[in-house]
Structure 1
């Protein structure tokens, strides 16, 4: 009986491995993406040296790039932090969860590209769709992962199940990014200021919590 139980546990581990390797790999990808964000600023410093600009002149000319760097660094960190909180509830990986995580990383890796596009001339709908759309895509993939973790008992195993308030935060973020995208594309001149709608996230999350309490 003991050998059969040991064999069963070994087979379960092979079919549904732990999340450690996947989370380590994901952490490395996120760290690399955050590092890539600084490269355009480093290039601008080299250009400033060539043109004999002072630090103040460089900062004045690149103030927008510095702000975008800080904002994107914070956004990627917030995605990573939510990913970390979700995977605290993961004991076993499933193929769907691994697949969704891979697609989520695709969005994270593309984010520096959509950020770089912001510097291409005047803001237009394509720019807005690429940047805010990438944020929405990452948020939707995060929602799918959170829903898998909350609903599949194989994934959570003996760990505590993902609760409604955590799901609500993830779902609310996606709704706010979707709202920002609609506002940015439909209101002329609003542009990236539509992202200030994210300040409504706590209110939306509280409203969603009561709904999700009945579903998980």
Structure 2
């Protein structure tokens, strides 16, 4: 590789990928670390342990949901970075709030696990997820609009961005619903449908506006 072909210092795709993967791995591990462990008294019998596990069902649901959501975000980011051949300063810069929210997610997950039907707990979690996915959408828009994806189809990357915009809007919608019903968190299981149908709708609307 010649000197002119080397990326500008601080704009190496490989280093960004390594750092992002490490942070996702730590955040996903912390989700389990936050789970409460039974004490000695709760281990004295199967009945006592069963009662403890039943009491913690909200925490286990919050853990499983947050893990799947984080894994989905990581997987989408992984696919994007497999196409990115060069970085830009805005692209790297938007990773700061994106990864901040990834690192923060174990906290609202733990809070929601203590009272999964609490509207403020749901608001904290959904707001964090919405902000994270919207940052993801911006990152994809930058990649598509700045020629960072090399030979890949920028239009396809923009369609993926539309899916992220739709999921972010879905989580924001759930914030309002959380104050109307304690079961707003069930909306989050429909996030893949929001990405598919909402993303397709945005793609058509944006195509019609061009």
Q: Give the TM-score taking structure 1 as reference length.
A: 0.81
- Say whether 1:111 aligns with 2:110: no
**2:154 counterpart residue number:** 161
Equivalent in 42, 53, 69 of residue 75 of structure 1: 69
Is the contact made by 1:104 and 1:141 (CA closer than 8 Å) also made in structure 2?
A: yes
Question: Offset of 1:197 from its aligned partner?
Answer: 5.0
Question: Offset of 1:206 from its aligned partner?
Answer: 2.0
**Any idea what the Cα deviations from partners look like across 1:90-114, whole Å, max 9, x if unmatched?**
1111111111112101001111101
- Say whether 1:170 aligns with 2:150: no
Q: Give the TM-score taking structure 2 as reference length.
A: 0.83
Question: Offset of 1:44 from its aligned partner?
Answer: 1.8
Count of residue pairs brought into register by the alignment: 205
Q: CA RMSD in A?
A: 2.7
Determine helix, strand or coil for the equivalent of 2:94. helix
**Any idea what the Cα deviations from partners look like across 1:40-97, whole Å, max 9, x if unmatched?**
33x423x2x4432425334322222222111111011011011112222211111111
Unaligned runs of 5+ in 2: none
- Say whether 1:206 aligns with 2:197: no
Is the contact made by 1:91 and 1:159 (CA closer than 8 Å) also made in structure 2?
A: no
Question: Offset of 1:181 from its aligned partner?
Answer: 1.5
Larger Rg computed on CA atoms: 1
Q: In the aligned structure 1, how far is the partner of 2:93 from the partner of 2:128?
A: 18
Unaligned runs of 5+ in 1: 1-5
**1:3 counterpart residue number:** none
